[in-house]
């Protein structure tokens, strides 16, 4: 029993020793708290410990609270903190000294600082700013075998003057670049930007910061900045070298990983198989670069594959476009259609022939379409009569001469005449 009492007394003394500093110490807020812009959409928070703060054998920490543009809260042991955030709405933060133990939290009052929103006329900043990235292979660089392009588009502000012009910048990590290739609207104002090569790392996890500001002779253009997560804007390339083969009722599909800095195990795939005969659509998801399906060998199929970076390698993002369709199999409907057309044409020809024969036999054509009689002509009748008489006299003459020339019939001819 005695050892138990001794242990309890020792624990009580330790707890009291821990409580005494917390109860007697007075925490003071930090001093010289400043907010400094260090880059596009990036600020540095810096403060100093209060020189009047009692120094004891305690570990002081600091609690940082972001008030605007988006509330956030975190703790740190150092006296400065970097923050990536949009700045076109302004920025404000607070910091205080804290002392934490197992049972309670002691805290000082807050020290605050603020950055005001940049000047500019309302309605002049860009709207609907969107950006996408895409990876291409660089065969001329061994240090960076893949290059990332950046394409951004936006709409002109509703109250922007006609002489206004926009300019775009991006920051990734410590690199900042200004756009050199713009697309313009009918008034010559920049509405899109294209970076064929950037310092963006497709496998990186940093935020992409984009700023669009402008200038005009009539008013100040309000700047606009936005943060993009790479996984949410990266357009993955479709899989390469998609092949499909049919052996009996077995359809085998294979492909290669897209052009990307991610290794082969970092991709998910979707395979789409469309049956052209009955319209059935089959979509399968997998992690390998091959797929086998049992099919109807009397149908024709078109096969497509698309890819996305797996959540094992980064946060889930966009799917790629579908690959170009690959056509396999036999389409049995095509010969049937051809035979149907042939039989139809032959039937029509046979019916027309029967109708023509019936019309000819029954003189239906003449009954349905009787001939129109030609008008009589007195001159024509005159010529016809004269020709007939002349022809008759000639025939009579020829006949008489022939009878006279025949020997031994003279008595008969005399008796006739």
Task: Report the chain's C-alpha Rg in angstroms.
Answer: 50
Q: What is the pLDDT of residue 402?
A: 40
**pLDDT tens sequence across 250-308:** 999 999 999 999 999 999 999 999 998 888 999 999 999 999 999 887 889 999 999 99
Confidence of residue 356 (pLDDT cuts 50, 70, 90): confident
Does the pLDDT value for residue 397 go beyond 70? Answer: no
The pLDDT of 137-155, averaged and rounded, is: 87
H-type alpha helices, 126-214: none
CA angle 36, 42, 44 (to 5 degrees): 35
Does the pLDDT value for residue 369 go beyond 70? Answer: no
Please write down the HEC assignment for all residues of 9-67: HHHHHHHHHHHHHHHHCCCCCCEEEEEEEEECCEEEEEEECCCCCCCCCCCCEEEEEEE
The pLDDT of 83-88, averaged and rounded, is: 96
**Can you tell me the distance from the alpha carbon of 85 to that of 182, in angstroms, rounded to the nearest whole number?**
26
Per the model's pLDDT, the better-predicted residue between 28 and 389 turns out to be: 28
The pLDDT of 124-129, averaged and rounded, is: 96
* Residue 105 φ/ψ, nearest 5 degrees: -130, 120
Does the pLDDT value for residue 21 go beyond 50? Answer: no
29 closest CA partner among 12, 51, 5: 51
Q: What is the pLDDT of residue 14?
A: 43
Q: Which of 168-172, 194-198, 255-259, 395-399 has the lowest mean pLDDT?
A: 395-399
Q: What is the pLDDT of residue 368?
A: 61
234 closest CA partner among 316, 163, 351: 316
Confidence of residue 2 (pLDDT cuts 50, 70, 90): very low
Q: What is the pLDDT of residue 293?
A: 92
User: How many CA within 13 A on the CB side of residue 105?
Assistant: 10
Per the model's pLDDT, the better-predicted residue between 305 and 330 turns out to be: 305
Q: Coil, strand, or helix at residue 109?
A: coil
**Can you tell me the distance from the alpha carbon of 84 to that of 211, in angstroms, rounded to the nearest whole number?**
13
Confidence of residue 143 (pLDDT cuts 50, 70, 90): confident
**pLDDT tens sequence across 22-60:** 455 789 999 999 999 999 999 999 999 999 887 777 788
Our CA dihedral for 194, 197, 200, 201, rounded to 10 degrees, sits at 140
Q: What percent of the chain has pLDDT over 90?
A: 61
**pLDDT tens sequence across 148-187:** 999 999 999 999 999 999 999 999 999 999 999 999 999 9
Does the pLDDT value for residue 80 go beyond 70? Answer: yes
Does the pLDDT value for residue 400 go beyond 60? Answer: no
**Can you tell me the distance from the alpha carbon of 257 to that of 313, in angstroms, rounded to the nearest whole number?**
15
Q: Which of 43-47, 101-105, 139-143 has the lowest mean pLDDT?
A: 139-143
101 closest CA partner among 23, 41, 39: 23
Global pTM value: 0.70
Q: What is the pLDDT of residue 337?
A: 65
> Which residue has tokens 């404000």?
92
User: What does the block give as tokens for 117?
Assistant: 């929103």
**pLDDT tens sequence across 224-250:** 999 999 999 999 999 999 999 999 889
């Amino acid at each position: 029993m005695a050892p138990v009492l001794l242990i309890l007394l020792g624990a009580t003394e330790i707890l009291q020793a821990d409580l005494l500093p917390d109860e007697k110490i007075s925490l003071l807020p930090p001093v010289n708290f400043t907010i400094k812009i260090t880059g596009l959409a990036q600020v540095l928070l810096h403060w100093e410990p209060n020189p009047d703060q009692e120094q004891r054998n305690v570990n002081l920490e600091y609690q940082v609270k972001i008030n605007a543009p988006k509330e956030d809260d975190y703790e740190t042991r150092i006296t400065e903190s970097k923050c990536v955030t949009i700045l076109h709405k302004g920025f404000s933060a607070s910091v205080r000294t804290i002392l934490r133990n197992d049972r309670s939290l002691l805290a000082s009052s807050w020290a605050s600082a603020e950055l005001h929103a940049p000047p500019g006329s309302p309605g002049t900043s860009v709207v609907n700013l969107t950006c996408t990235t895409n990876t291409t292979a660089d065969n001329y660089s061994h240090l960076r075998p893949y290059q990332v392009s950046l394409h951004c588009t936006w709409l002109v502000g509703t109250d922007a003057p006609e002489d206004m012009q926009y300019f775009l910048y991006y920051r990734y990590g410590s690199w900042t670049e200004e756009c050199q290739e713009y697309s313009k609207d009918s008034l010559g104002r920049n509405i899109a930007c294209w970076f064929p090569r950037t310092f963006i790392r497709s496998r990186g996890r940093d935020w992409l910061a984009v700023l669009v500001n402008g200038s005009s002779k009539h008013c100040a253009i309000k700047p606009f900045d936005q943060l993009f997560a790479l996984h949410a804007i990266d357009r993955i390339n479709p899989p390469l070298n998609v092949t499909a083969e049919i052996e009996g009722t077995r359809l085998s599909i294979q492909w290669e990983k897209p052009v990307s800095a991610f290794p082969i195990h970092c991709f998910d795939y979707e395979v789409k198989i469309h049956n052209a005969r009955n319209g059935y659509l089959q979509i399968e998801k997998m992690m390998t670069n091959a797929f086998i399906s049992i099919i109807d060998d009397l149908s024709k199929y078109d096969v497509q594959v698309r890819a996305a970076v797996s959540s094992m390698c980064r946060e889930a993002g966009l799917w790629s476009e579908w690959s170009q369709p690959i056509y396999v199999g036999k389409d049995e409907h095509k010969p049937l259609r051809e035979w149907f057309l042939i039989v139809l044409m032959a039937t029509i020809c046979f019916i027309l022939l029967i109708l023509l024969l019936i019309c000819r036999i029954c003189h239906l054509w003449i009954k349905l379409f009787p001939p129109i009689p030609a008008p009589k002509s007195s001159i024509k009748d005159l010529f016809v009569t004269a020709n007939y008489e002349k022809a008759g006299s000639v025939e009579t003459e020829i006949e008489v001469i022939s009878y006279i020339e025949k020997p031994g019939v003279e008595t008969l001819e005399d008796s006739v005449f």
